[in-house]
């Protein structure tokens, strides 16, 4: 019935395309039928593509789809993620074979400890209670205890929490990373922390529903640990207000897009103690770094010095008891995933407010997430050997190369950039490193086993085992300070099962994990107009990230370095401002009644628009308008031209239905525009759209004024 409806639409509105398609072959392979069925089932031909291309491509899917109770959204990426998760579960459920490597033993042991819910529940919160004693206890539990707060030390508590929990920092983050100015060096980075709730929510104040849910989570957790309800309500509201005050002094996402502040932000420990004297930083480093790097005395990159200065003044205004309560709360919150169901249910009540989900995920999915984020290289090694097709990697590499090369004429074509800057830009495009599928070392049992050789994991108890793994990860990270720097270290590319792709500013590299190189994003046997519309536009997106508002600040070697002519940079800022203003005007009138943040999403919007153009131009170089041997059409879609199917497949990839709470979270805190506006923005700025779909200039999807950066 649906096929007939689509065909009627085609016959009524696209007659020219039908006559042009006479004589074209039809692809009748299984993957072509599956792809055609998805495109047909998702689209709504009653909507004019000229009026609303997103609804045209996705309307029926949005209308008919039901989001699972334990999901925050539904769409092609979620469906593929579920497929990959099932594949990973198959690996984890397989019994160990004789001679299995150590890393496989460790991986499956951790997973099985996590799956032993009865044992975890029998222990309850006692493992966390024992750890809290080691960090000095939780004041909210000590209503009648007259403690001498004059001897309490924020520093010693922070060190104790980090040594035991490895939470990543409460008031600040200490870690390691490449030097922005010289990526051949690894340095300590001192940064503002990640809070228990996104600052954008906290800044709305305590009456914001999500903030209220977070506060209830704090109070209920304290009560579960033994505090009296009324007392906990009083003490934890102080913690909440402290966290709100911290959010107020943090540097915003938009401000953090500018890397120019890193040109003069390296300090010795002595200089750091002078500049930010409220903490003994030498003692902090000594307490948090593993013994293997204690001799390290190099400079420290202070990412947000203003935040740290303000933090010292802020903490001086609060009683030590409040500060201690907050620190311990954050430590407890970081342990929720490894504790019993009673605290897990409290966290889920908060998730209902934050994400809108109404049902917990099955235990195996939680355990899969836990092991995949900690023992990623071990799981990745087993995954690529069992599920990834080497032919897909080869074909994807060819596509990436074509798209990367297409960036060169695009740079030449822009009128707002001077020739010297163009030459630097082309040098950068030419030197982009391609990481497609997986690192070859992942297929070597010896290499992966060597990496995990020093991991010693508690064999009996889940929480202790996770702490052991966290400690191993922490030591490996810190030891980068004393190891030779490897520019593209395979050990940093273990996330092969993630449905995503990446651009690394400091490596000038693009990464396409194995998991995304499969339907609906890619298949080696699909027509190229589909592959270029889907994975091709993503490849173009990641390539363009090298030249967005962030990427443009790094040179071809991945070093933070000015390489723009002053006038070219001013022109670039003008071009991207057009796009910022355009996306600021997008308003979600269907669910959240919120407008898109064009500034926070500018990098992704520049990459979306530039990426689509790169994929399109790359495809057209291979198949000009009238090729002698046109590609076959898809069954049931013979009335659509390859060019139309290119755009339709691109939009189909972003078809989604999202819970209102999740959509609000994404708009407020995310760097991506909602999927609807990603598609509309790309189509509205795409020069050839009007010709491809016969949409007159001035129609909503073919506006006269368009925004371009690349």
Contacts of 697-700 spanning 24+ positions with Cβ under 8 A:
699/50, 699/51, 700/50, 700/51, 700/52
Place of tokens 């004059």: 150
Q: Exposed, middle or buried: residue 146 (CB in 10 Å: 0-12, 13-18, 19+)?
A: exposed
Active site residue: 158, 304, 333, 542, which one? Answer: 542
CB contact at 8 A, 122 and 390: no
CB contact at 8 A, 435 and 493: yes
Query: What is each CA distance from 426 to 178, 310, 647, in whole angstroms?
Result: 24, 42, 27
CB contact at 8 A, 9 and 621: no
Phi, psi of 87 (to 5 degrees): -65, -45
In whole angstroms, what is the distance from residue 364 CA to residue 377 CA?
Answer: 19
- Length of the chain as a residue count: 710
Hey, is 132 helix, strand or coil?
A: helix
- The H-or-E segment that residue 437 falls in is strand 433-437
User: What's 535's DSSP letter?
Assistant: I
Active site residue: 608, 638, 643, 676, which one? Answer: 608
Phi, psi of 253 (to 5 degrees): -55, -45
| Among 294, 279, 301, residue whose Cα is nearest residue 185 | 301
Please list, in sequence order, all residues whose beta carbon lies within 8 angstroms of the beta carbon of residue 535, skipping any fewer than 6 positions away.
396, 399, 512, 516, 517, 521, 522
| Among 407, 410, 399, 403, residue whose Cα is nearest residue 428 | 407
Please list, in sequence order, all residues whose beta carbon lies within 8 angstroms of the beta carbon of residue 376, skipping any fewer than 6 positions away.
494, 495
Q: Which two tokens stand for residue 91?
A: 């690996």
Place of tokens 């006269």: 704
In whole angstroms, what is the distance from residue 686 CA to residue 708 CA?
Answer: 9
- The H-or-E segment that residue 189 falls in is strand 186-191
CB contact at 8 A, 269 and 282: yes
Please list, in sequence order, all residues whose beta carbon lies within 8 angstroms of the beta carbon of residue 561, skipping any fewer than 6 positions away.
181, 554, 555
Q: Exposed, middle or buried: residue 426 (CB in 10 Å: 0-12, 13-18, 19+)?
A: middle
Known catalytic residue at 542: yes
CB contact at 8 A, 318 and 149: no
Q: DSSP letters along 77-100, please?
A: HHHHHHHHHHHHHHHHHSPPPTT-
Which are the catalytic amino acids? Answer: 542, 608
């Amino acid at each position: 019935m649906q096929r007939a409806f689509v065909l009627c639409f085609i016959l009524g509105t696209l007659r020219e395309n039908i006559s042009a398609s006479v004589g074209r072959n039809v692809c009748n392979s299984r993957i072509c039928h599956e792809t055609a069925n998805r495109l047909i089932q998702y689209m709504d031909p009653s909507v004019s593509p000229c009026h609303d291309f997103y609804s045209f491509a996705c309307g029926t899917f949005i209308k008919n789809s039901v989001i699972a109770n334990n999901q925050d959204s539904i769409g092609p990426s979620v469906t593929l993620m579920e497929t990959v998760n099932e594949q990973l579960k198959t690996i984890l459920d397989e019994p160990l074979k004789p001679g299995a490597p150590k890393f496989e033993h460790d991986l499956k042991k951790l997973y099985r400890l996590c799956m032993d819910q009865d044992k975890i529940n029998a222990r309850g919160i006692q493992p966390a209670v024992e750890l809290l004693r080691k960090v000095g206890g939780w004041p909210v539990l000590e209503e009648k205890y007259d403690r001498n707060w004059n001897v309490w030390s924020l520093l010693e508590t922070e060190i104790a929490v980090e040594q035991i929990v490895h939470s990543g920092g409460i008031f600040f983050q200490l870690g390691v990373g490449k030097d922005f100015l010289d990526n051949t060096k690894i340095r300590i980075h001192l940064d503002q922390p990640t809070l228990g709730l996104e600052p954008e929510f906290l800044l709305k104040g305590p009456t914001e529903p999500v903030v209220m849910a977070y506060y209830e989570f704090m109070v209920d957790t304290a009560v579960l640990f033994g505090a009296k309800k009324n007392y906990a309500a009083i003490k934890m509201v102080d913690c909440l207000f402290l966290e709100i005050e911290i959010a107020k002094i943090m540097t915003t996402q938009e401000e953090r897009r500018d890397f120019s502040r890193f040109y003069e932000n390296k300090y010795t420990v002595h200089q750091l103690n002078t500049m930010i004297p409220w903490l003994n930083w030498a003692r902090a480093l000594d307490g948090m770094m593993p013994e293997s790097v204690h001799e390290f005395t190099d400079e420290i990159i202070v990412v947000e010095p203003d935040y740290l200065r303000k933090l010292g003044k802020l903490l001086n205004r609060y009683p030590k008891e409040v500060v201690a309560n907050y620190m311990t709360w954050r430590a407890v919150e970081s342990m929720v995933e490894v504790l019993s169901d009673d605290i897990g249910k409290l966290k889920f009540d908060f998730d209902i407010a934050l994400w809108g989900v109404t049902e917990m995920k099955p235990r195996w999915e939680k355990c899969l997430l836990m092991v995949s984020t900690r023992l990623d290289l071990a799981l990745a090694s087993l995954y690529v050997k069992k599920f990834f097709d080497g032919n897909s990697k080869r074909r994807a590499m060819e596509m990436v190369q074509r798209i990367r090369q297409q960036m060169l004429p695009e740079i030449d074509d822009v009128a707002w950039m001077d020739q010297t800057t163009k030459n630097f830009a082309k040098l950068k495009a030419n030197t982009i490193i391609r990481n497609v599928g997986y690192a070859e070392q992942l297929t070597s049992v010896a290499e992966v086993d060597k990496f995990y050789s020093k991991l010693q994991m508690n064999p009996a108890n889940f929480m202790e085992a996770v702490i052991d793994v966290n400690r191993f990860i922490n030591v490996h990270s810190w030891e980068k300070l004393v190891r030779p720097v490897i520019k593209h270290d395979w050990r940093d590319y273990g996330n092969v099962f993630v449905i995503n792709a990446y651009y690394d500013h400091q490596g000038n590299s693009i990464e396409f994990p194995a998991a995304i190189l499969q339907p609906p994003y890619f298949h080696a046997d699909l027509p190229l107009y589909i592959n270029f519309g889907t994975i091709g536009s993503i490849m173009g997106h990641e390539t363009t990230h090298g030249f967005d508002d962030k990427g443009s600040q790094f040179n071809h070697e991945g070093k933070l370095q000015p390489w723009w002519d002053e006038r070219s940079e001013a022109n670039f800022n003008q071009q991207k401002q057009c796009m910022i203003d355009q996306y600021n005007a997008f308003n979600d009138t269907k669910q959240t009644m919120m407008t898109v943040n064009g500034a926070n999403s500018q990098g992704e919007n520049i990459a979306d628009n530039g990426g689509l153009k790169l994929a399109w131009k790359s495809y057209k170089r291979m198949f000009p308008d009238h090729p002698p041997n046109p590609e076959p059409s898809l069954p049931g879609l013979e009335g659509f031209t390859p060019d139309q199917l290119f755009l339709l497949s691109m939009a189909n990839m972003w078809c989604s239905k999202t819970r209102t709470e999740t959509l609000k979270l994404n708009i407020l805190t995310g760097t991506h525009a909602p999927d609807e506006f990603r598609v509309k923005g790309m189509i509205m700025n795409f020069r050839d759209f009007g010709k491809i779909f016969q949409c007159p200039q001035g129609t909503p999807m073919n506006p006269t004024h368009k925004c371009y950066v690349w």
